[in-house]
Amino acid sequence: MKTQQSEKGFTLVELAIVMAIIGLLIGGILKGQELMENARVASTVTQVKAIEAAMTTFRDTFNAIPGDMARAHLRLPGCDAYTPADACTADDAGNNVGDGVVGFANMAGNMQGINSTTPLSGDAGDETTLFWTHLLLADLLGGLTDAALRTGTFSAWGETHPSARIGGGFVVGHSGGRFETINAGSAGASDGGIPGHPGATGDRVPVGTVLILKNTLVNDIDGYTSGTLPVSPLRAAQIDRRIDDGQGATGTVQGFGEDGETDCINADGTYDEVNKAKDCGMIIQIQG
């Protein structure tokens, strides 16, 4: 006589418990990811404030703007340890050094990549790289090296320019309320508008020294396409709200996106926060 073995399965209660546990795990993972993104936003805002504070301290200490300092190789510790000895000072043949402008006027939106083994080109554009070198040598900012002056290496995030905690990195430059880099295809091109901004009239950039959060060093800000920028509109809005007014097209913090598109900023100037793609860069005033 064969013994019949009973087959046991999961009861509905047990299945419900398992499904509940799985749901909690998934929810915990998603919540953890959101917490990490929020932490990156907060850390990026802290970076911006640290750069702003470093620039202010430098100006108060040396009565000069980093990168724009005349005779920096005679004033900053270690700034004369390069070949040539004055490599740490931007070329002043055009009388641009010491004029209170980092780089050329209105050119903050331009490419700042070093694309040859000659690290600096010998004009006012050098100031946008030397800005970071001067802060490093003055012991006011970390996370950088002076490799561009020592060995002539190409520019890179975390080397010549600071990486951003949220992705991409920061470049610096001047804005007089417009950008010269914008080509004829951009909204606001005739008056130096910002790519991805709604409308041409009154489309103005924050005035003064500005940081630009972007994905690569080798693009002007009007050279990006959707999905190739460092942050989503939601994260851009979060950064903006922590520093400024939370509006993408006004104030001291503004967004930018693909030329002629509204993937980053809506027609009414608000960030398109339901869009999860990385369609936004940012422009942040650090000195008016």
Q: How many whole angstroms separate alpha carbon 60 and alpha carbon 58? A: 5
Q: Is 218 within a domain? A: yes
pLDDT score at 79: 85
Q: Work out whether strand 169-175 and strand 208-214 pair parallel, antiparallel, or are unpaired.
A: antiparallel
Q: Is 253 within a domain? A: yes
pLDDT in tens, 141-184: 998 888 777 776 677 888 889 999 999 999 998 887 766 644 43
Q: Is 74 within a domain? A: yes
pLDDT at 50 exceeding the cut of 60: yes
Query: How many other C-beta atoms are found inside a 10 Å radius of the C-beta of residue 123?
Result: 15
Q: Is 99 within a domain? A: yes
Higher pLDDT, 5 or 177: 177
In this prediction, residue 97 has a pLDDT band, given cuts at 50, 70 and 90, of confident
Q: Is 65 within a domain? A: yes
pLDDT score at 229: 94
Higher pLDDT, 28 or 258: 258
Q: Is 13 within a domain? A: no
Q: Work out whether strand 208-214 and strand 253-256 pair parallel, antiparallel, or are unpaired.
A: unpaired
Q: Is 33 within a domain? A: no
Residue 122: domain span: 46-287
Higher pLDDT, 216 or 138: 138
Q: Is 208 within a domain? A: yes
Average pLDDT over residues 224-236: 92
In the chain, the number of structural domains is: 1
pTM for the complete prediction? 0.82
